[in-house]
Amino acid sequence: MEKRRVMNRKIGVYVCECGPNIADAMDIDRIIEAVSGLENVAVVERYKLLCSPDGKKYLAEQIKKHKLTHLVVGACSPKQHEATFMGVCEEGGMNPFLMQMANLREQIAWITPDKEKATERAIRHMKAAVRRVRYHAPLEQKEIECNADVLVIGGGIAGMSAALLLSSPDRKVFLVEKNTELGGMVSRCEKLFPDMARGSEITESRLKSLKEDDNIEVLTGAAVENVLGFFGNFVVTVREKESEPREFKVGAVVLATGADLFDPSALAEYGYGKIKNVVTAPELEEMNLKGNIALENGKEPKSVGIIHCVGRKEKGYCSEVCCRVGIKISRYLKEKIPGVSITQFYQDLCIPGSVAQAFYEETRNAGTEFVCTEAVKLSESDKKIQIDHDGKLDAVDMVVLLPAIEPAKDTSKISELLGIKKGKGEFLTEEHEKIGPVTTTVEGVFLAGTVSGPKTVRDSVSQSEAAAGKILSSLVPGRKLETEARTSKISESLCTGCRTCLTVCCYSAIEYDESRGICTVNEVLCKGCGNCAAACPSGAAIHQQFTPTQIHREVMEILR
C-alpha cells in the first residue's frame, strides 16, 4: 500500500548554512551531491539562514515554484525551528506534516570537530530524512465543538472555591456533594491555623455566595454514578438522594473529594478506644465546636498531651498539617481552659513557610511544652493517662492524637470512575507533581485539594483556583477544541482484540469495541505518545508520523 503511494513524490531538500555554524563544520556541497540522486528528489539547494525572514520567504516560494510535495530541511534542532518551517509549509500551500528536519547543527556540527566525519554523518542524516519523508502522509488538526459547563465533585473548601471561580453567565457549574451539607473538613474546625479564623465563617461566606449564584447548581446527598466521554464532551450521571439519576453534559470535571484521617485504633500503643480520654484531633474539634471541652467525667482537663505523627510510620509519609494543627489546638485549649498545662510530643517539627514558625514560637513562649521523642506509649494509671516517651514518664488527664491524613474511603471508586490512577500514598495521581499539580493524564479531569495528598487549607484553595484557571483558559465558551494531529490509529483488519494497547495508554484514549472485538483510538484524546504502537503484537496500532516504514527507512539509512 505505502509503496504504491510514494511514486509521485517531488521532494525539495534544503540545507541551511546557519552562518558559519553548519557551513564551516561540514562540506555542504558534498551533502548536496550525495542526496541529489536519491529517488523522488526534485531539487537540492543551500541557503545562508533559512529561519531569517528572507529565508522563510525563499523556502515558501521554492515550494510553489517546484510544485514540491514533500520537504526536507537540514538545519538546527527541530526543537528550535520545526514550528517555523511547518509554518513555511503552510505558507507555500503544503501540508506541514509532509516536512522532515535533519538536525545538522546540535547533533552534528556542534559536537563533531572533524570536518570529514561531520560531513559523512550529515549525509547519513540527510539521506535518512529524505527516505523517511517519502512515506509522510498529510495529517489534519481537527476542531471539535465543546461544552463549557463543569462538574465539581466534592463540596469542601476546594470544591466550593473552584465552583465560585468558574461560574459565569455562559458557564454553568454543577457542584456535587455526597453529604447533606457542604463545607467538608474546614466547617468542622472551629479554628484554622495560622490566623485562628473560624472554619465555619470561611465556609459560610462561600456558601452564601454559592446560594446567590444562579450559574451554580448544588446537589447534596448526591453521588456521581457514571462518567462517559472526554474533554469538552463528558456525559455524567448523578443521583441525588433517593431521586432518579440525572444526566449532565459538561466539558470538564474537578475532583475535590478530599481525604480521611487514619484510624488510630489500629495501633495498640495509643490505646485509642480503650483508654479513657484519649481522643483524636477531630473529636476535640467537635467538643470545641460544641463549646464543651471536657473529660468523660465532665470535668475540664488540667493537663493535656498532644501526640504528633500518629500513623506516619504506617503510612510512610508526613501529613504536612499535623504539627500546625497541634499548635492550633494548644492555642485554643489555653484560651478556653485557663491554667491547662499542655505538652506536645513530636518527632520532627514540620512548620514550613514564612509564618508557621512565629505561630509555633508564640505558642511555645505562652507555655506549651514541646518534647522531641522517637516513640510514645500510652497506658492508664490512676485515673490519668501515662505517656511513656523514650523511657521517660508523664501523666496527663487527656491525650489528643494527631492522625495521619489518608485517602478518602471512596478513592478507589473515583479512581475507576474517572480513570485516574492511584499513586504515592494511594492518593490520586497528578499529571506531574511539579509542573502539572492539578491536571491528570485524563485531559479535562482536574484534581484539587487533599484528593491528591495532604495539604493545608491555603494550598487546597490555591489548587482549586488553579484547576479553575486551567479550565477557564482551555474551555472557552464558543471556542472549539483543537486536537493533536500526530495520533495513533488501529487497523481494524489487523487488530486481534488482545487489548495490550489498553494497558499502556496513558490518556485513556483507547476503547475496546465489544461488538467488533477490536480496539479503537479516540483521536480527540490521543496525544500521540506511541505506547500502543510499540506494544501492539500484531502491528495493528500505528503512530501516524512514526509508521514502521518511516522508522525503518530512516534507521536503515543512518546505519548503512
Partner 1 sequence: MTKKQQKAKDQVLVIGAGMAGIEASLTLAAADKKVYLVEKEPLFGGKVIKFEEVFANMECSTCMAAPKQQEVLQNEKIELLTLSKVKEIQGEAGNFTVKIGKKARYVSLEDCIGCNECFEPCPVSLRNEFEENLGKRKAIYIPCPGALPNAPSIDTENCVRFTKGEDCQLCKEACMFEAIDFDQKDEEVELNVGAIIVATGFDLMDSEQISDWGYNGQANVYTALEMERLYASNGPTQGKITLRNNKEPASAAMIHCVGREKAGYCSAVCCMYSFKFIHYLKDKLPEIALYDFYSDLCMPGKSYQPFFEHLKDKTESVRFQDLKIAHQNGKVRIKYKSLADQDKTLDVDMVILAPAIVPAKGASELAGVLGVEQDENGFFGFQSSDRSPEESGREGIYLAGCVLGPEDIGKAIAQADAAAGKVLALLG
| Interacting residue with partner 1 among 141, 205, 381, 496 (CB under 8 A) | 205
11 vs 69, 247, 529, CA distance in Å?
6, 53, 27
Least separation in angstroms between CB 470 and partner 1: 6
How many residues touch partner 1 under the rule CB under 8 A: the total is 70
Residue 511 in grid coordinates = 476503547
The number of beta carbons lying within 10 Å of the beta carbon of residue 168 is 13
Binder of partner 1 out of 3, 4, 20, 409 (CB under 8 A): 20
Question: x/- site string to partner 1, residues 280 to 319, per CB under 8 A?
Answer: ------------------------------------xxxx
Q: 32-51 mask for partner 1 (x: CB under 8 A)? A: -----------------x-x
Site string for partner 1, 345-384 (x = CB under 8 A): ---xxxxxxxxxxx-------------x------------
How far is the C-alpha of 272 from the C-alpha of 288, rounded, in Å?
Answer: 19
One-letter amino acid identity for 290? K
Q: Do 402 and 310 meet the contact criterion of CB atoms below 8 Å apart?
A: yes
User: What CA–CA distance (Å, rounded) separates 394 from 378?
Assistant: 10
Residue type, 538: S
Tell me which of 249, 364, 470, 489 binds partner 1, using CB under 8 A.
470
Residue 461 as a binder of partner 1 (CB under 8 A): the answer is: yes
Among 180, 473, 493, 515, binds partner 1 (CB under 8 A): 473
Any contact of residue 472 with partner 1 (CB under 8 A)? yes
Burial 169-192 (b: 16+ CB within 10 A, else e): eebbbbbbbbeeebbbbbbebbbb
Is 349 exposed, middle or buried (CB count within 10 Å of its CB: 0-12, 13-18, 19+)?
Answer: middle
Please state whether 543 falls in left (phi above 0), alpha (psi between -120 and 50) or beta.
beta
Helix (H), strand (E), coil (C) string for 264-297 = HHHCHHHCCCCCCCEEEHHHHHHHHHCCCCCCCC
Query: How many Cβ atoms sit within 10 Å of the Cβ of residue 210?
Result: 21
Please, what is the minimum distance in Å from the beta carbon of residue 235 to partner 1?
A: 25
Contacting residue, 202, 279, 340, 509, with partner 1 by CB under 8 A: 202
Stretch that binds partner 1, among 123-131, 230-238, 279-287, 459-467 (CB under 8 A): 459-467
Encoded one letter per residue, x for contact with partner 1 by CB under 8 A and - for no contact, window 405-444 reads -------------------xx-x--x--xxxxxx------
Nearer to partner 1, 317 or 512 (CB): 317
Task: Based on the shown chain and the rule CB under 8 A, indicate whether residue 545 belongs to the binding site for partner 1.
Answer: no
Q: What is the phi/psi pair of residue 326, to 5°?
A: -60, -40
Give me the least distance between CB of 355 and partner 1, in Å please.
Answer: 5
Binding interface with partner 1 (CB under 8 A): 18-21, 49, 51-52, 79-80, 83, 161, 165-166, 168, 192, 194-195, 197, 199, 201-202, 205, 316-320, 348-358, 372, 424-425, 427, 430, 433-438, 452-455, 457-459, 461-470, 472-474, 476
